[in-house]
Structure 1
Amino acid sequence: MQPFDNNEHPHRRFNPLTGEWILVSPHRAKRPWQGQKESANSATLPQYDPACYLCAGNERSDGTRNDNYTDVYVFNNDFPSLLQEEVAPQADSSPLFQLKPERGINKVICFSPRHDLTLPEMELEAIEKVVDAWKEQYIELGSRDFINHVQIFENKGAVMGCSNPHPHGQIWAQSSLPTNVEKTQANLKSYYDKNGTSLLADYLAEELNRRERIISENEHFAVLVPFWATWPYETLIISKRHFGNITQMTADERTAFAAILKTITVKYDNLFETSFPYSSGIHQTPTDGQDHPEWHFHMHFYPPLLRSATVKKFMVGYEMMAEAQRDISPEKSAAVLRELSEVHYKQK
């Protein structure tokens, strides 16, 4: 029997955050794909677009005019997926037709008045203001008695369904724990109850010791390709200190978090020399008023690009019918990202 090689032999990996498995088929990608270059067809954006409903001073679709903002700007989403009004639940005796009303608040956060900038091209001080806005919104929305979860996220790029290139993210606050968060909560709590320690603190300690999937780190945060990564260049930012949410960051951690955000997003853009699309989101303690010592602050990045600026990975076939699968190993994708410059390609 051959000895196992995780860079050659198909195998499954376990995700302790979700309790799910992923199939890895590294023999289908003998080498990393960094040698393939293919530029995306993308026009240079103006600093200000008079037709953009997110630019400072412009009118939005509902007739509201944006403030003439100079840094970060937050407003209620004009097309919210959740509504604040409380409604009576519909009675249904069948367990096969369960439903319950869901209340919530949706907000949009513009990162900058510059229409042509994204996080990797913003100055560190500007990214710190984005972090401050995330913190303010987590406090404000989480203090509502009917809000039990605040999801901060960004969809970057048209391929991720982003309808406007202006640099912005969203915040959805709601009364229930969403499905993926509920899974994570259960697994974090199970581990904490059994071991008395944070799952992600222990995991990060192992990763820092092995150094196989670490991309970059500073005094307070590390960014890595998780052992169980699904997307080709998926990454995870984890705080080195065990704390549950953004309100518990020190001033130094705030700066370090902004710095690691800039580092990974610059590396993403440098990978294929394009404005790299992704969905990213912060996972932190629910706002249900309960103690959650099991939670450990972290942020996910899920990018779809596979081999170039135009070649994407899709979840199809086996992945939709059976379980997630990837070809390039997490170790190889981490090595590719690790070697990339932290200076944006446009500045070279």
Structure 2
Amino acid sequence: MYKSRFTKPDGRVLYLYSRRPIDANIVAPSPQLNPVSLEGSHMRWHPLRGEWVAYARHRQNRTFLPPKEFNPLAPMSSPEFPTELPQGDYDVAVFENMFPTLSEKAVPPPTISGVETFPALGVCEVVVFTKDPTMTLGRLPLDHIVLLFEVWGDRTREIGQKDQIQYVMPFENRGVEVGVTLHHPHGQIYAYPFVPPVPARELAQQQLYFEKHGVGLMADFIAREMRDRIRILYEGPHALAFVPVCARYPYEVWVAPKRPVPTMDRMEDHERVDLARALKTVLLKYDALWSRPFPYLMLMHQAPTDGRDHPEAHFYLEFSPPYRSSDRLKFLAGTELGAGLFASDSLPEEKARELQGVEVSFE
């Protein structure tokens, strides 16, 4: 993997990644010359839920579903319309989000009587999967997806080394059904100054299981799925994709390396290749099953970046389809949002059989 660092006119950093050497003379563009003001961004403590809520009102001004000719994630073709990406020979681009929820340049929080506040500290990056706006993650060549896993691992390692960062979460929102504002194939990375509530709860469960059994919870989970062989969508020598027995959403899928790897940067080359095959298989099945591109949230769960060993943690990808009942997908309502108890109208085994019946090939 080749990597080069550039600085945009507004001061943000751009990283280019490639399977080939990158021209050092590339000039990084920016849609505007001055950085977006973060004034007013902060967090407030929610005492009943015991968690932070982030406020970033400047994000109301971010680009929203522009016409194809004004795609800000496409390589810049005219100086009259500067974009985020330069022309040149590279495969993947990563840059600081122009409209971040969290930032290393966070401003001091306001003082609010009776409310605990905190700076909106962290990192928000955009990962542009490819320069081709017509492509999707699942249709990318296998070696390109392998490179993406290297990129995600590199960003996890580099961001996670920052003293103020405790957790790094790459993800992809796909489809307007989940609130995507740009159609160009891309994902994001959020890095937090604490372990957020959902991964914190998962990690606590994994820690309890590890202390009791001496083996990781996810490792046992994967071993059970391999024994049952009911919900598996892909099995290779080093990776597995399956509908979990406890799936909360229709068509929910987990993709994981078989070896307990705590974070993406700790994977071996052969594991990345097999994980890329598993990921591509799932995405092709999704799109073949649907009459249009399948919408989803792709979330990456990994260990905290607090400098400690986490033998209990096991990196995996979770696909959660959006919340709509009209397409046989999940709509979050009273019991889910109000009580936190998910109620599913279908069994994981039924959805696994649907996906297992979809034949895909990418040789």
Q: TM-score interval w.r.t. the shorter chain? A: 0.7 to 0.9
Work out whether 1:72 is the aligned partner of 2:92: yes
Work out whether 1:274 is the aligned partner of 2:295: no
Q: Is the 8 A contact 2:171 2:298 kept in 1?
A: yes
Q: What SS is found at the alignment partner of 1:326?
A: coil
User: Percent identity of the aligned residues?
Assistant: 35
Distance in 2 (alpha carbons) for counterparts of 1:76 and 1:59: 22
Distance in 2 (alpha carbons) for counterparts of 1:265 and 1:210: 23
Q: Is the 8 A contact 1:54 1:60 kept in 2?
A: no
Tell me the alpha carbon deviations over residues 272-326 of structure 1, each in whole angstroms, 9 at most, x when there is no partner. 1321110011111111111111101111000137788x55431013333332111
Q: Is the 8 A contact 2:169 2:189 kept in 1?
A: yes
Distance in 1 (alpha carbons) for counterparts of 2:324 and 2:177: 13
Structure 1 counterpart of 2:333, from 316, 321, 325: 316
Equivalence for 2:201: 183
Shift of 1:259: 0.9
Pairing 1:235-246 to 2, within 5 Å after superposition: 235-246=253-264
Equivalence for 2:131: 113
Distance in 2 (alpha carbons) for counterparts of 1:60 and 1:226: 49
RMSD: 2.6
Q: 1:126 to 1:326 in 2, by over 3 A?
A: same
Amino acid at match of 1:118: T
Q: Is the 8 A contact 1:278 1:302 kept in 2?
A: yes
Q: 1:59 to 1:79 in 2, by over 3 A?
A: farther
Q: How many residues align structurally?
A: 295
Q: What SS is found at the alignment partner of 2:204?
A: helix
Shift of 1:87: 5.8
**Where do 5+ consecutive residues of structure 1 fail to align?**
1-47
Shift of 1:92: 8.2
Amino acid at match of 2:70: A
Equivalence for 2:44: none
Distance in 2 (alpha carbons) for counterparts of 1:89 and 1:108: 25
Shift of 1:232: 0.6
Q: What SS is found at the alignment partner of 2:343?
A: strand
Distance in 1 (alpha carbons) for counterparts of 2:101 and 2:81: 16
Shift of 1:135: 1.2
Amino acid at match of 1:55: A
Distance in 1 (alpha carbons) for counterparts of 2:80 and 2:244: 40
Q: What SS is found at the alignment partner of 1:50?
A: helix
Shift of 1:102: 3.9
Q: What SS is found at the alignment partner of 1:133?
A: helix
TM-score after normalising by structure 2: 0.75
Distance in 2 (alpha carbons) for counterparts of 1:52 and 1:91: 39
Q: Which moved more, 1:60-69 or 1:241-250?
A: 60-69
| Bigger RCO (CA 8 Å, 6+ sep) | 1
Amino acid at match of 1:286: P
Amino acid at match of 1:314: F
Amino acid at match of 2:146: E
Work out whether 1:341 is the aligned partner of 2:354: no
Distance in 1 (alpha carbons) for counterparts of 2:248 and 2:342: 6
Work out whether 1:104 is the aligned partner of 2:122: yes
